[in-house]
């Protein structure tokens, strides 16, 4: 089974890799893997760890964990300032031209949580936005594709619901209409950029790319290259820059 690991460690915070199938928080059970917060508390010998953001159980990738009250306050302020940029890679069925045109653009919808699902509504929901950046066929000959996208808002099940609405439910996401094997589900938070909007966060601007791992399956080389270009772009951004996608 895929295991969590520490990607980047500082005095008062760290960036972790969360595997798919593991919750960020919650009670541990004999049948399931240890929640990420309990794993991290043991790793850092710190009982007061907090997450300023979370990933769905089925999603893997980068998660920030804060070790102090000052760190969680700073991270929450950055999020309120919209100075975090999150980039994901999703496995979807290879779309036709009309679906592709709806994916490779800025996508905006109103979403509302309904039980265990998110639903698209005309009014009364939360404004939700994401941007499709690059679409390439998977390298395994499966007929699937990988979509690189930037998350603009972080609503419940946002990526899963919005891609399904536009005709491209994630492979294996039976909750949103996929008929494929759920074990093929693949959604990864691959790149996180923090800082760059306020003077305080500019001083701490940094970009973190999740290193390659065994459960990253058959991405087209262009997806890897695009993430590397984004990483270099934000690492090279001068202090005080408000450049964004």
For the segment 147-159, the average pLDDT, to the nearest whole number, is 96
Place of tokens 């919750």: 23
Instruction: Say what the pLDDT of residue 205 is.
Output: 62
Element (H, E) at 121: strand 117-121
Instruction: Say what the pLDDT of residue 244 is.
Output: 37
Burial-class residue 188 by CB neighbours within 10 Å (0-12, 13-18, 19+). buried
CA 242 to chain centre: 21
Two structure tokens written together for 115: 């039980």
For the segment 56-76, the average pLDDT, to the nearest whole number, is 95
Percent of the chain with pLDDT over 70: 92
Task: Work out the mean pLDDT of the chain and round it to a whole number.
Answer: 90
Encode pLDDT of 177-193 as tens digits: 999 999 999 999 999 99
Return the SS3 of 72. Answer: helix
Two structure tokens written together for 93: 């069925």
pLDDT for residue 239 is more than 50: no
CA angle 192, 194, 196 (to 5 degrees): 135
Q: Are 167 and 104 in contact (CB under 8 A)?
A: no
Percent of the chain with pLDDT over 90: 80
pLDDT for residue 225 is more than 90: yes
Instruction: Say what the pLDDT of residue 103 is.
Output: 98
For the segment 13-37, the average pLDDT, to the nearest whole number, is 89
pLDDT for residue 240 is more than 60: no
Two structure tokens written together for 99: 């679906």
DSSP E strands in 115-217: the ranges are 117-121, 126-137, 144-151, 187-194, 206-209
HSE, side-chain direction, 13 A CA sphere, residue 227? 24
HSE, side-chain direction, 13 A CA sphere, residue 67? 15
Encode pLDDT of 119-137 as tens digits: 999 988 999 999 999 999 9
For the segment 221-225, the average pLDDT, to the nearest whole number, is 97
pTM of the model: 0.92
For the segment 15-39, the average pLDDT, to the nearest whole number, is 89
Rounded CA-CA distance 172/188 in Å is 14
Instruction: Say what the pLDDT of residue 133 is.
Output: 98
Instruction: Say what the pLDDT of residue 237 is.
Output: 57
pLDDT for residue 51 is more than 60: yes
């Amino acid at each position: 089974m895929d295991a969590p690991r520490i990607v980047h460690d500082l005095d008062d915070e760290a960036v972790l890799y969360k595997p798919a199938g593991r919750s960020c928080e919650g009670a541990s059970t004999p049948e399931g893997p240890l929640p990420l917060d309990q794993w991290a508390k043991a790793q850092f010998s710190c009982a007061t760890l907090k997450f300023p953001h979370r990933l769905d159980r089925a999603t893997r990738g980068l998660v920030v964990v804060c070790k102090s009250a000052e760190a969680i306050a700073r991270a929450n302020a950055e999020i309120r300032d919209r100075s975090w940029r999150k980039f994901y890679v999703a496995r979807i069925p290879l779309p036709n031209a009309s679906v592709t045109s709806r994916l490779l653009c800025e996508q905006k919808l109103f979403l509302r949580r309904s039980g265990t699902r998110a639903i698209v509504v005309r009014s009364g929901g939360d404004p939700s936005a994401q941007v499709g950046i690059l679409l390439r066929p998977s390298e395994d000959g499966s007929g699937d594709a990988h979509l690189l996208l930037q998350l603009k808002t972080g609503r419940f099940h946002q990526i899963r619901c919005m891609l399904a609405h536009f005709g491209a439910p994630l492979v294996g996401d039976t909750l949103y209409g996929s008929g494929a094997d759920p074990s093929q589900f693949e959604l990864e938070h691959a790149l996180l950029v923090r800082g760059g909007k306020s003077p305080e966060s500019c001083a701490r601007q940094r970009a973190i790319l999740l290193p390659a791992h065994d459960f990253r399956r058959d991405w087209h080389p262009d997806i890897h290259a695009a993430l590397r270009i984004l990483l270099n772009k934000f690492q090279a951004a001068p202090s005080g820059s408000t450049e964004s996608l």
